[in-house]
Structure 1
Amino acid sequence: MGLLGWSREELEKKAVWDVQDLAPNAEDLEALARRLSDYPVVIATEVGGGVVPADPAERAAREAAGRLSCLLAQRAQTVVRVFCGIPTVLKGALG
Structure 2
Amino acid sequence: MMFITGPLYSGKRTFARQFAGSCITDVQDKAADAADLTQLAEELAQYDIVIATEVGGGVVPVDAGQRAAREAAGRLACLLAARADCVVQMFCGIPTVLKGELPKKC
Match of 2:87 in 1: 79
- In structure 2, runs of 5+ residues without a counterpart are 1-16
Aligned length: 87
Instruction: Return the index of the structure with the highest Cα Rg.
Output: 1
The one of 14, 18, 36 equivalent to 1:3 is 18
Q: Percent identity?
A: 62
TM-score, structure 2 normalization? 0.79
The reply on whether 1:19 has 2:34 as its aligned counterpart is no
Hey, what's the Cα distance between the residues in 2 that align with 1:61 and 1:70?
14
* Structure of higher RCO (CA pairs closer than 8 Å, 6+ residues apart): 2
TM-score, structure 1 normalization? 0.88
- In structure 1, runs of 5+ residues without a counterpart are none
Alignment RMSD, CA only? 1.0
Report the alpha carbon displacement of residue 94 of structure 1 after superposing the two structures with TM: 1.2
Higher strand share: 2
Partner of 1:47, secondary structure, is coil
